[in-house]
Amino acid sequence: MTIDATDEALLRLLRENARLPTAELARRLELSRTTVQSRLERLERHGVIEGYTVLLARPFARSLIRAQVLITVAPKSAARAEAGLRRIPQIAALYSVSGMYDLIALVEAVSVEQMDQAIDEIGALEGIERTVSSIILSTKFVRPGAL
């Protein structure tokens, strides 16, 4: 599937506010509502748009304790380690990376105790050789729709 300039503009608007009504998207793009609706359906059908989400309000998001956990996985244990990591609800995202570490987990917790427990749980999983954790102190900026 090819994405044209109109699709890119539509996706940019949705990344800024995924709740914009189709009529408003059409107005901003200077297209008909049915054209925008058709494009949205096509983007969803082809997997370009997987879903819509909620962004937490700054006061609540700031109250979360967040950490990046750098993970080294034992040889031939990647699938088992990933399956175990998927079961830890405090892991908001898991990235496969190149370099000294194999994975980076973004962990979010409501308390220091919950963060400590989550990091311990990660380190205890079968196939995990080593972890290094960095607590995120502040967010300088996040671009709309960033992963």
Tell me the CATH number of domain 58-136, given options 3.30.70.920, 3.10.200.10, 1.10.3720.10, 3.30.70.930: 3.30.70.920
Q: What is the pLDDT of residues 71-98, one digit of tens each?
A: 999 999 999 999 999 999 999 999 999 9
Same fold flag, 5-45 and 58-136: no
The domain ranges of the chain are 5-45, 58-136
3-state SS assignment for residue 23: helix
Report the distance separating Cα 135 and Cα 141, nearest Å. 16
Average pLDDT of the chain to the nearest whole number: 90
How far is the C-alpha of 30 from the C-alpha of 28, rounded, in Å? 5
- Beta bridge mates, 109: 65
Give me the pLDDT at residue 56, please. Answer: 60
Question: What pLDDT, on the 0 to 100 scale, is given for residue 145?
Answer: 64
User: CB of 88 within 8 A of CB of 121?
Assistant: yes
Contact between 93 and 147 under an 8 Å Cβ cutoff? The reply is yes
- What is the CA angle 57-121-125, rounded to 5? 130
- Read off the pLDDT of residues 42-51 as tens digits, 9 standing for 90 and up: 999 999 998 8
pTM of the predicted protein model: 0.64
Lowest mean pLDDT among 13-17, 42-46, 67-71: 13-17
Neighbours of 72 (CB within 10 A): 14
Confidence of residue 140 (pLDDT cuts 50, 70, 90): confident
What is each CA distance from 77 to 84, 96, 118, in whole angstroms?
Answer: 11, 13, 20
Mean pLDDT of 87-110: 95
128-138: pLDDT as tens digits: 999 999 999 98
| pLDDT at res. 73 | 97
* φ, ψ for residue 99, nearest 5 deg: 115, -150
Please give the pLDDT value at position 81: 96
Domain 5-45 has CATH 1.10.10: yes
